[in-house]
Amino acid sequence: MTRFKDKHIVITGASTGIGRATADLIASEGGKVTLLARRPEILTQAVEKIQTAGGIATSFAVDISDKAALIDSLDKAALTQGPIDGLFVNAGTSGAFAPLGSYDDALFEDVLRTNLISPFWAIKHVLPTMIERKQGAILVTGSLASERGMANNAGYVASKHAILGLSRATAIEAAPHGVRANCLIPGFIETPLMGNIDDAIAAQLCSKIPQGRMGSAHETAQVAAFLLSDQASHVTGQSWAADGGVLGGLMV
The three-state (H, E, C) secondary structure of 119-163, written as one string: HHHHHHHHHHHHHHHCCEEEEEECCHHHCCCCCCCHHHHHHHHHH
Say which of 60, 108, 121, 156 is annotated catalytic. Answer: 156
For residue 103, indicate whether it is catalytic.
no
Residues annotated as catalytic are 156
